[in-house]
């Protein structure tokens, strides 16, 4: 699947579940691997990123079993035999994190405390991503961590670690989690301070695996030497994947989408507030907390468009949803984002590559160093957009293309498999076709 054709849609309608959450799946697998005892993870995310985490863990001697609990569902159950806090084995080959920054960074935090040498690398996109943000704190804690010009491959010589009091240079849940995972193996306390809150799945997962964390408004502290215990956990649907359907429903008149059993962690749902500012009708219901992570149902209905602005303070809580929100604004209204320079360090340069792809579909987009402006108000022509190997760009371009005058082609669309295998099949099932006299 190198290129996919996306046809304009009259609207999108349906009820669906999305794959398990990628961020949460990584954390559960990593903690399960260093736990005492067996863990079972239900609805483990099916994409390539979370598979990379499992394959790295297998190379570190972890016994992992995958199964499909029922023939009606494609949800995967992963059973992991924990090796304990100090039980990983030296890898015989470099660990390959593929496209996954979360795998590489969080695993570095674990490896920093293991008494052996390891190398972690990834694909060409991951090898471009900045790692100084984790190298610095792990070095301060006592590990020897070297990057190639601060980029992967990363060489980690694990050591006995000391706790630190650390403020990440940029708001980042990956950096926070890397330091907390290293802190678990350190002497004394490790504190991470956050000026802007980021997703708190690591803190919640720690509690699930029997680790005490002290949480204050702007800091998290973990005491070293605590041993995680195996757990049975159920991953909610990935709200960042759900965001593509939510924005599509917000974009196209008469759309009505219900997303079932999706994660509603408050540090991840800021995009729903943005959709409300846009005018969209949002209803959340059936909310329950299972395994420390809130989840429930989200119904999204089109209700007009407006102009929205997103500034620096809001960015960390919706960093992964900005491509979807940009796609929304191509349908109508407008979106102006500032303070989002971090987008340039994601799986692609999510400012330049996003702007180029949307322009290729006929959108008016202005970009600058730390943001962009999508000016809706005219119908897209349709065209050919390159996802440049970035899963979220492939999905964002598909959502924009639904509003084209004619069909569009998304190149490198197979990138969706990183987080959402089956995305295009689901799109086909939700799409209501244009009438004969409209574009088809
Ligand atoms: C993630 C944190 C975010 C996010 C990424 C997943 C995580 O990255 O963009 O997709 O699982 O912790 P940063 O920590 O770099 O902001």
Rg (CA), the chain: 21
pLDDT at 433: 87
State yes or no: is 320 an active-site residue.
yes
More confident residue, 135 or 290: 135
Structural fold of domain 3-19+236-439: UDP-n-acetylglucosamine1-carboxyvinyl-transferase; Chain (3.65.10)
- From the CA of 253, how far away is ligand 1's center (Å)? 32
In the prediction, which pLDDT does 440 show? 43
* Per-residue DSSP letter, 237: B
Write down the domain spans for the chain: 3-19+236-439, 22-234
Q: Give whole-number Cα distances, 81 to 22, 34, 63, 66, in Å.
A: 20, 9, 5, 12
Residue 90's SS3 state is coil
Closest to 204 (Cα-Cα) out of 272, 137, 295: 295
Distances (CA, A) of 326 to 244, 365, 371: 11, 9, 11
- Looking only at the bridges linking them, the beta strands covering 151-157 and 63-67 are unpaired
| pLDDT tens, residue by residue, 337-349 | 999 999 999 999 9
Does residue 390 register a pLDDT over 50? yes
DSSP code, position 264: -
pTM above 0.85, yes or no: yes
Q: What is the DSSP letter of 229?
A: B
Question: Each residue of 177-225: pLDDT tens digit?
Answer: 999 999 999 999 999 999 999 999 999 999 999 999 999 999 999 999 9
Find out whether the beta carbon of 320 lies less than 6 Å from any atom of ligand 1.
Answer: yes
If you take atom 13 of ligand 1, which residue's CA is the nearest one?
A: 172
Is the four-CA dihedral 241, 110, 173, 154 of positive or negative sign?
A: negative
pLDDT tens, position by position, 37-47: 999 999 999 99
2 pLDDT band (50/70/90 cuts)?
confident
Q: Which CATH class is domain 22-234?
A: alpha beta
Ligand 1 atom closest to the Cα of residue 177 is: 12
The DSSP bridge pattern shows strands 165-166 and 189-193 to be parallel
- What pLDDT is recorded for position 1? 60
Kindly state if the Cβ of 174 falls inside 6 Å of ligand 1: yes
Q: Is the pLDDT of residue 71 over 80?
A: no
CA atoms in the 13 A half-sphere facing the CB of 6: 33
For residue 173, report the distance from its CA to the centre of ligand 1, in Å. Answer: 6
Residue from 21, 49, 261, 320 carrying the catalytic annotation? 320
Tell me whether domains 3-19+236-439 and 22-234 share a fold. yes
> 300: Cβ–Cβ under 8 A, 6 or more apart, which residues?
245, 246, 249, 250, 255, 256, 257, 258, 259, 275, 280, 281, 282
Ligand 1, atom 16, residue with closest C-alpha: 172
- Ligand 1 centre distance from Cα of residue 174 (Å): 5
Q: Whose CA is nearest to atom 10 of ligand 1?
A: 320
94-113 pLDDT, tens digit per residue, is: 999 999 999 999 999 999 99
Backbone phi, psi, residue 345, to 5°: -110, 25
pLDDT of residue 439: 46
Shortest-distance Cα residue to atom 4 of ligand 1: 320
Q: Which of 172, 179, 312 to mutate to test the pocket of ligand 1 (most atoms within 8 A of CB)?
A: 172
């Amino acid at each position: 699947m190198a290129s996919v054709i996306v046809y304009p849609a009259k609207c999108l309608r349906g009820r669906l579940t999305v794959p398990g959450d990628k961020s949460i799946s990584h954390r559960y697998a990593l903690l399960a691997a260093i736990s005492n005892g067996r863990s079972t993870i239900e609805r483990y995310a099916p994409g390539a990123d979370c598979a990379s985490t499992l394959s790295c863990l297998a190379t570190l001697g972890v016994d992992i079993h995958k199964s499909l609990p029922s023939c009606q569902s494609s949800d995967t159950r992963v059973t992991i035999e924990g090796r304990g806090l100090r039980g990983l084995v030296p890898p015989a080959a470099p660990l390959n994190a593929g496209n996954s920054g979360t795998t590489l960074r969080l695993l570095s935090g674990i490896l920093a405390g293991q008494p052996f040498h390891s190398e972690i690398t990834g694909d060409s996109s991951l090898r471009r991503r900045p790692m100084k943000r984790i190298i610095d704190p792990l070095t301060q804690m006592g590990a020897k961590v070297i990057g190639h010009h601060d980029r992967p491959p990363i060489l980690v010589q694990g050591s006995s670690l000391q706790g630190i009091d650390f403020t990440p240079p940029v708001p980042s849940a990956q950096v926070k989690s890397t330091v907390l995972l290293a802190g678990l193996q350190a002497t004394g306390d490790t504190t991470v301070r956050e000026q802007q809150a980021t997703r708190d799945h690591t803190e919640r997962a720690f509690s699930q695996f029997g680790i005490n964390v002290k949480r204050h408004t702007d800091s998290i502290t973990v005491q070293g030497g605590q041993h995680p215990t195996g757990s049975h956990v159920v991953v909610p649907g990935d709200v960042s994947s759900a965001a593509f359907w939510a924005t599509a429903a917000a974009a196209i008149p008469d759309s009505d989408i219900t997303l079932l059993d999706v994660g509603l962690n408050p540090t991840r749902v800021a995009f729903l507030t943005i959709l409300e500012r846009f005018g969209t009708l949002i209803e959340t219901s059936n909310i329950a907390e299972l395994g420390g992570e809130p989840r429930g149902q989200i119904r999204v209905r089109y209700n007009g468009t407006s102009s929205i602005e997103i500034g620096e303070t809001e960015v960390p809580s919706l960093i992964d949803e900005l491509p979807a929100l940009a796609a929304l604004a191509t349908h109508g209204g407008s979106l102006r984002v500032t303070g989002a320079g971090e987008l340039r360090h994601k799986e692609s340069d999510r400012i330049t590559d996003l702007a180029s792809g949307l322009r290729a579909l006929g959108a008016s987009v202005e970009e600058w160093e730390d943001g962009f402006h999508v000016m809706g108000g005219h119908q897209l022509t349709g065209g050919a957009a390159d996802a440049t190997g970035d899963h979220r760009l492939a999905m964002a371009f598909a959502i924009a293309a639904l509003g084209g005058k004619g069909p569009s082609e998304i190149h490198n669309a197979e990138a969706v498999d990183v987080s959402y295998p089956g995305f295009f099949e689901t799109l086909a099932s939700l799409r209501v076709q244009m009438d004969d006299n409209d574009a088809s």
